[in-house]
Chains A and B, each alone.
Chain A
Amino acid sequence: MKSGKEQTTDLRWTLQKRMKEVLGRSLHIRHVDSGSCNGCDFEMNTLTNPIYDIQRFGVDFVASPRHADMLMVTGGVTRHLEEALIKTYNAASEPKMVVAIGACACSGGIFGRTYANYGGVGHIVPVYVYVPGCPPRPEAIIEGILLALDRYEELSRNRYEELSRNKGENRH
Chain B
Amino acid sequence: MEKTIKQWLSRMKQQLGNKVRSMEQNGAQETVMLVEKTELPDVCYFLWHEKKGRLFTMVGNDERDIHGFFALYYVFSFDSFRHFITVKTLIDPLDPTFPSVAVQLPAANWYEREVKDLLGLRPQGHPDPRPLILHGDWPEDLHPLRKDFPLDRHAPRVQSREAFMPYDSEDVTEIPVGPIHAGIIEPGHFRFGAVGDTILHLDARLFFTHRGLEKASEGMPLAKALFLAERVCGVCALSHSVAFAQAVERIGEVTIPPRAAYLRTLFLELERLYNHIGDVGNVCAGFGFAVGISQGARLKEIMQQLNEHVAGHRYLRGVVRLGGVRIDITEREKEDIVRTLAYVKKEFQELVDLLFSHDIAMNRMATTGVLRLEHANDLEVVGVAARASGRSVDIRRDQPYAAYDQVPFHVPVYEAGDVLARVRIRVDEVFESIAMIEQLLHSLPSGDTFTSLPPLPPYRSAMGWCESPRGETVHWLMVGPDQTIYRYRIRSATYSNWPAVPLAVKGNIVPDFPLINKSFELCYACCDR
Which A residues are within 8 Å of any B CB, using their own CB?
31-33, 35-46, 48-52, 61, 63-64, 75-76, 78-81, 84, 88, 109-117, 134-135, 137
Contacts and interface: CB of A to CB of B under 8 A. Distances in A.
Interface stretch (B148-156, B381-389, B440-448): B148-156
A114 B153 CA distance: 7
B227 interface: yes
12 contacts: A38-B524, A39-B234, A46-B304, A49-B301, A81-B187, A84-B187, A111-B212, A113-B152, A114-B151, A114-B216, A115-B150, A135-B234
B130 interface: no
Contacts of A76: 211
B524 to A, nearest CB: 7
Contact of A115 (B155, B182, B301, B523): B155
B186 A114 contact: no
B187 A41 contact: no
A45 B184 contact: yes
A84 B233 contact: no
B457 to A, nearest CB: 26
B280 to A, nearest CB: 14
B411 interface: no
B525 A110 contact: no
Given A35-B208, A84-B179, A84-B180, A115 B144 contact: yes
Nearest to B237: A39
B111 interface: no
Interface stretch (B34-42, B249-257, B292-300, B420-428): B292-300
Contacts of B208: 35, 78, 80-81, 84
A64 B317 CA distance: 32
Contacts of B187: 33, 35, 81, 84
Q: List 8 tightest A-B contacts by C-beta distance, closest first.
A: A39-B234, A114-B212, A63-B182, A49-B297, A116-B212, A38-B234, A35-B209, A117-B211
Interface in B183-232: 183-187, 207-213, 215-216, 224, 227-228, 231-232
Interface in B279-319: 294, 297-298, 300-301, 304, 314-315, 317
A36 B524 CA distance: 9
Interface string B334-363: 000000000000000000000000000000
A61 B207 contact: no
A81 B234 contact: no
Contacts of B155: 115
Contacts of B237: 37, 39
A61 B183 CA distance: 8
A44 B184 contact: yes
A31 B184 CA distance: 6
B44 interface: no
Interface residues of B, number: 50
State the majority secondary structure of interface residues on B.
loop
Contacts of A43: 314
Interface in B388-434: none
Contact of B294 (A39, A42, A49): A49
B135 interface: yes
Contacts of A46: 297, 301, 304
B207 to A, nearest CB: 7
Contacts of B209: 33, 35-36, 75, 78, 80-81
A52 B525 CA distance: 25
B436 interface: no
B101 interface: no
Contacts of B149: 115
Given A41-B185, A63-B183, A81-B179, A114 B152 contact: yes
A133 B233 CA distance: 15
Contact of B154 (A40, A42, A110, A115): A115
B186 to A, nearest CB: 5
Contacts of A135: 234, 314-315
Contacts of B479: none
A36 B213 contact: no
Nearest to B232: A37
A27 to B, nearest CB: 15
A123 B323 CA distance: 38
A117 B216 CA distance: 10
A150 to B, nearest CB: 24
B277 to A, nearest CB: 12
